Structure 1
Amino acid sequence: MPVRDLTSDDHVSYRRLSSGAFGGSPPDPEPRPFTPGEIPIGVDSSALPGGADGVIAAGARIRRDRITWGEGAEIACGGIGGLAVHPAHRGGGLFGELIMEILARCDAEGMPVSMLYPSNPSIYRRFGYQVVASLHSIIVPLLDLQQLPRVPGRRLVPVTEETMPRVRALYRELTAGDNAMLLREGPLFPEGLPSDGWSALLLVDDSGTDHGYVSWNRVPSSERGYGLQIHELLGRTREDRIALLGSLASWSTVLEHVCLRLRTDDPVLDVLPGAGSRPTPDPIPLLMMRVIDTAAALEARRAPAGLAGSFRLVVEDATVPAGICRAGGAWVVAAADGTISAEPTEDAGTADGGTVRLSIHAASLLLVGGRTIADARRLGLEVEADAEAGRLLDALLAGPRPSVLDAF
């Protein structure tokens, strides 16, 4: 079942497959290029028994994303979207064929990790993906926000085409210390204002310096129980977040509630007044990630200042055949002078600092950062670790838990 790159001539067929699987409008009947920054791949129905010409039997898109990675670092990431199999060809192994090609292509393209939002986590887990985070939203009564004090020295500025670059700069600055946040670079995130009714306000001080922003879409409140979908609320300081939350209270003349999308351990939760907020009734989206190249994923991180030592790391990846990617293997991992190195070694004996042995699922959880070996064990993931080596690995990978917001 040959997997090939899709071209503009395949766009209509792929969109027909995708809209049939996930819903959405029928595709434009005219061929057009795929989104720049994505690698579209697929399998022709005509190559399969009983297949038809002009039909894509299975397809997916690999996004060339970059994400934050630990303390001030970045890494390339293969974001997976639109993976679908035609109903006529399900149950024949095409899903696995596509996953194998995705992992191999991410490896070849220098993307040490991959991420996706699964509709069915179990089918991706079979291939080494691991749930690393969940995405939450809460419904906030505007009556609560009216309790917030006014913050002196701050004012609001409408976001326009001209001021949108300032929003992008604030996003990059204020999420740089997070794990797994998209950098939102072009061409996947083109310049200009987002569409579909998106609005935003900048928070500035008396000198015009930017301190944060809040963005939203107006939605029909009768259908959801809230009238504003707040996409992001980011501020430099606690007072800036109070000022931005307080600005939302002005909607109380026409609305009773807003829905606020949150990062993992979002600092905005620490400034919410009152106790009236509640989770939305919607399903909680999950984020899954997978290590593609263990050494590159480690070496992309920065070691905490003053941390030094070494240990043997063994990652066992039985979910895919050997050679598909470079997740499995054995390395001597060393930290010194703020850097991490991972040198291949034979899986035998012990290093000076001992050995840590991880399944691919444990590695995919831990290498993102913000979790410990104890967390992996609590989840029932396979971990064996000598005490000293385990402590060093936990110290290397300390930091905020992963958090992803997919768009402005």
Structure 2
Amino acid sequence: MPSPLPDPLPVRSLTTADAAAYRALSAGAFGGRFDLTPEEAAAPLSPGQSVLGIDSSAMLAATGAADGGGADGGGGDGVLAAGARILHHGIALGGGRARSGGVAGLAVHPAHRGDGLFGAMVDAVIARCDAEGMPFSMLFASNPEIYRRHGYQVVARPESLVVPLVDLQRIRPVPGRRTLPVTAATMPRLRALYTELTAGDNGMLRREGPHFPEGLPGGGWEAVLLVGEDGTDRGYASWTRRRPGPGTAEGRELEVHEVLGRDRDDLRALLRVLGTWSTLVEELRLRVRTEDPVLDVLPGGRARRASDAVPLVLMRVIDTAAALAARPAPAGVHGALRLIVEDATVPPGTCRAAGAFDVVAVGGQIRVLAQEPTEAAASADLDSLGTVHLDVHAASLLLTGGRSLADARRLGLRAEADDPRAAALLDALLAGPRPSVLDAF
């Protein structure tokens, strides 16, 4: 039987001195280089992240003492038993924005697997996200069940389409549009377009801060900027031209990262630009959002889903009140309800997802008040419409946006309302497109 975990668990923040140990742990779990150059070993950890770990020596000492055998003579020195990174991201929430902790590189050393460290590290990540003021946590997983045990919920399935270039060849020119190459000088205009055109989405990363440097991405990345006849930036398309390699089908080496435009004509003009690749490649791979407007513009009807598996996007609510307050209330929507969230997936006090929350929508804002429902309604001159009960999985799904209480119930999650008006109000407050994430980490 595994030895009991020490209480409290010796999770600590990692520093530059731990770079080699964390690199070894990560490379052993996910592949990659074990060795660091002297410059890499001396470099500080990248900004915009929190890195957590558990020393192998601490675990061996604790479990050795518990087993009556003492420590192992220092065999765990300089080795991490477990580690994880929390990337500090911003995400779009239907016109608002919230901070989100992106979980990456969570790994347990083979010598310590089966001892419960994976779950303990997930709990530690959740607690750190809460301590650092992140209302959400996000991660990618091919096996979501191991994270669902800790309150994470699948919210999106990243998707790419394979599109025959011959279909795009047939798109006629769009009057009043011209394209410019994206350079270091025009890259800020592209970033501004991305921020503007995805602001109403749910879940999309804001692409700000140290994880998204201001310059050109590099690595073969290219893009064109679409400009209207009045000089207004209308949209852009970005792609990478891949060289054929092992496992890459000939003629399918154009990877289109995104096609964003203000209207259908903009999208058609950008797809026509992509169609000019037809003399060099047969098909392109197009990354799309869950409810991407480009899906309604693609001609020909022969686009098909890419066959390779893509990790699912999971979200977890960390702070329910902050997650609600980060989102604007739709125009004309007002009312008050009591929201009760239950969370039995983490130890009490790990985060602020669970509790009773008085939610008031008025004046285009969502306010969360720690008062009795009648007092909350009176303070906003509104009548309380009832109570909604959610488990943490339903809360994580719904607070990310774009889904209804009925959607949560169809997934077997607890999403109950004692008054249909309360359900309708919460659905209205959390409306918008279904969540999408185009960036991987």
TM bin (shorter chain): over 0.9
What is aligned with 2:161? 138
Deviations 1:56-110 (A, max 9, x none): 111111111111112x211111111111111111111111221121111111111
Of stretches 149-158 and 53-62 in structure 1, the one that deviates more from structure 2 is: 149-158
What is aligned with 2:4? none
Deviations 1:280-321 (A, max 9, x none): 111033110001011111111111122221111110000011
2:431 to 385, 393, 398: 398
What is aligned with 1:273? 299
Of stretches 298-307 and 360-369 in structure 1, the one that deviates more from structure 2 is: 298-307
What is aligned with 2:31? 23
2:278 to 236, 244, 252: 252
SS of the aligned residue for 2:126 comes to: helix
Q: CA deviation at 1:155?
A: 1.9
Distance in 1 between residues matched to 2:116 and 2:289, nearest whole Å = 36
SS of the aligned residue for 1:341 comes to: strand
The question of whether the paired residues in 2 share the 8 Å contact of 1:129 and 1:289 is answered with: yes
- 4+ long deviations beyond 6 Å: none
What percentage of aligned pairs have identical amino acids? 61
Of stretches 149-158 and 261-270 in structure 1, the one that deviates more from structure 2 is: 149-158
SS of the aligned residue for 2:184 comes to: coil
Distance in 1 between residues matched to 2:34 and 2:178, nearest whole Å = 44
SS of the aligned residue for 2:202 comes to: coil
What is aligned with 1:91? 114
1:80 to 100, 103, 127: 103
The question of whether the paired residues in 1 share the 8 Å contact of 2:142 and 2:310 is answered with: no
1:367 to 380, 399, 403: 399
Of stretches 295-304 and 132-141 in structure 1, the one that deviates more from structure 2 is: 295-304
Report whether the alignment pairs 1:52 with 2:76: yes
2:50 to 30, 34, 39: 39
Q: CA deviation at 1:210?
A: 1.7
Report whether the alignment pairs 1:172 with 2:183: no
Distance in 2 between residues matched to 1:346 and 1:100, nearest whole Å = 31
Distance in 2 between residues matched to 1:176 and 1:185, nearest whole Å = 13
Report whether the alignment pairs 1:327 with 2:353: yes
The question of whether the paired residues in 2 share the 8 Å contact of 1:315 and 1:330 is answered with: yes
One-letter identity of the residue aligned with 2:58: A
Deviations 1:240-276 (A, max 9, x none): 1111111111111111000000011110111111022
SS of the aligned residue for 1:214 comes to: strand
What is aligned with 2:124? 101
Q: CA deviation at 1:114?
A: 0.7
One-letter identity of the residue aligned with 2:79: V
Q: CA deviation at 1:220?
A: 3.2
Distance in 2 between residues matched to 1:239 and 1:88, nearest whole Å = 58
Report whether the alignment pairs 1:64 with 2:93: no
Deviations 1:97-142 (A, max 9, x none): 2112111111111111111111321110000000011100000000
One-letter identity of the residue aligned with 1:262: V
The question of whether the paired residues in 2 share the 8 Å contact of 1:136 and 1:285 is answered with: no
SS of the aligned residue for 1:137 comes to: strand
Deviations 1:205-227 (A, max 9, x none): 34443211111111234633311
The question of whether the paired residues in 2 share the 8 Å contact of 1:59 and 1:84 is answered with: yes
One-letter identity of the residue aligned with 1:144: D
The question of whether the paired residues in 2 share the 8 Å contact of 1:330 and 1:345 is answered with: no
SS of the aligned residue for 2:89 comes to: strand
The question of whether the paired residues in 2 share the 8 Å contact of 1:39 and 1:63 is answered with: yes
CA distance change for structure 1 residues 200 and 352 in 2, over 3 Å: closer, same or farther? closer
What is aligned with 2:241? 218
The question of whether the paired residues in 2 share the 8 Å contact of 1:75 and 1:112 is answered with: yes
Of stretches 23-32 and 293-302 in structure 1, the one that deviates more from structure 2 is: 23-32
What is aligned with 1:236? 262
The question of whether the paired residues in 2 share the 8 Å contact of 1:219 and 1:228 is answered with: yes
Distance in 1 between residues matched to 2:263 and 2:277, nearest whole Å = 23
* Alignment coverage as a number of residue pairs: 406
Distance in 2 between residues matched to 1:39 and 1:371, nearest whole Å = 30
Deviations 1:323-362 (A, max 9, x none): 1100001111111111112223579xx9942111110001
Distance in 2 between residues matched to 1:141 and 1:155, nearest whole Å = 24
Q: CA deviation at 1:26?
A: 3.2
Of stretches 96-105 and 311-320 in structure 1, the one that deviates more from structure 2 is: 96-105
2:336 to 310, 313, 327: 310
Q: Under a length normalisation based on structure 2, what TM-score does the superposition of the two structures give?
A: 0.88
What is aligned with 1:149? 172
What are the equivalent positions in structure 2 for 1:369-388 lying under 5 Å apart?
A: 369-386=401-418, 387-388=420-421
Q: CA deviation at 1:27?
A: 4.0
The question of whether the paired residues in 2 share the 8 Å contact of 1:329 and 1:344 is answered with: no
What is aligned with 1:188? 211
Q: Under a length normalisation based on structure 1, what TM-score does the superposition of the two structures give?
A: 0.95
Q: CA deviation at 1:380?
A: 0.4
**Structure 1 segments unaligned to the other structure (5+ residues):** none
One-letter identity of the residue aligned with 1:88: A
What is aligned with 1:294? 320
SS of the aligned residue for 1:199 comes to: strand
